[in-house]
Amino acid sequence: MQKEKKNARRHSGGIIGYYKKEIAKGITNINGTKSQNRLWLKLEKEFFGFKEDLYICAIYVPPINSNYFENDYNLLENDFNTFARQGKILLMGDMNARTGKCPDFIKGNSCQINNFDAENLIPDYYEVDTKISRNNQDNVTNVQGKSLLELCIASRLRILNGRFIGDSLGYYMFTYMSINGYSAVDYALISESLLSSVKYFQTDDFTYLSDHVQIQLTLNCNIKQIFDLKSHIEKKNG
């Protein structure tokens, strides 16, 4: 759990990560981040059946005019550069970013440029961005949104909102409600190479408990043997 700041003028909830005790052995809490606005967890590839370790970041990015804004997107990119060399990335949280209809990939990206004048202008190992349409009922783009999109393009992260079963049309895209109306500021982002592992994504309905909705993500993994063993032991003891 990340604690609230000592000099905060009002109480805040901080960031908390919950997970079931059955999978606790496969999860590591990563200390060392320089911000109270991010909580990193590592999911071990051997335990979850991934090809690489998965680094999950629960994140809160304050509004840009907040006293607690820390140039968070630059700091987040620094974290990403560290963990991306060791595995894949998943970010989820309130990013106070409105991305409108803008793409989170390089438009018109193609290796065909190498055919120009018979010269190889880009290296052979260059990976072309995959064009995947994204629906969004929030048409506004703000400064934070532009920073988020730049992070996606630079880091090959892709926004899941408005792209997958559960929110494929973006009709339930709004995640925040205020006196000024509805907006989409809570996101899940994942390494592009893990898009095929995403099974389900959805934004829940608004409730009286919060002005934000809960967002949910289901990833394919392979820990069935662990639970089968646990079930076998329970039946044997029973």
Three-class secondary structure of residue 29 per DSSP: strand
The 10s digit of each residue's pLDDT in 75-91 is: 888 898 899 999 999 99
49 CB-side CA count, 13 A: 10
Q: Is the predicted pLDDT of residue 214 greater than 60, yes or no?
A: yes
Q: What is the pTM of this model?
A: 0.80
The 10s digit of each residue's pLDDT in 87-97 is: 999 999 999 99
Distance CA(180)–CA(155), nearest Å, equals: 32
Q: Where are the domains of the chain?
A: 21-105+134-237
Superfamily of domain 21-105+134-237: Endonuclease/exonuclease/phosphatase (3.60.10.10)
Radius of gyration of the chain (CA): 20
Q: Is the predicted pLDDT of residue 148 greater than 80, yes or no?
A: yes
What the block records as the tokens of 52 is: 């690489």
Local confidence band at 137 (pLDDT 50, 70, 90 cut-offs): confident
Which is more confident, 130 or 187?
A: 187
Distance CA(191)–CA(84), nearest Å, equals: 9
Q: Which residues pair with 91 in a beta bridge?
A: 57, 189
Three-class secondary structure of residue 35 per DSSP: coil
Distance CA(197)–CA(199), nearest Å, equals: 6
- Do 87 and 42 contact (CB within 8 A), yes or no? yes
**Single-letter residue type at 187:** Y
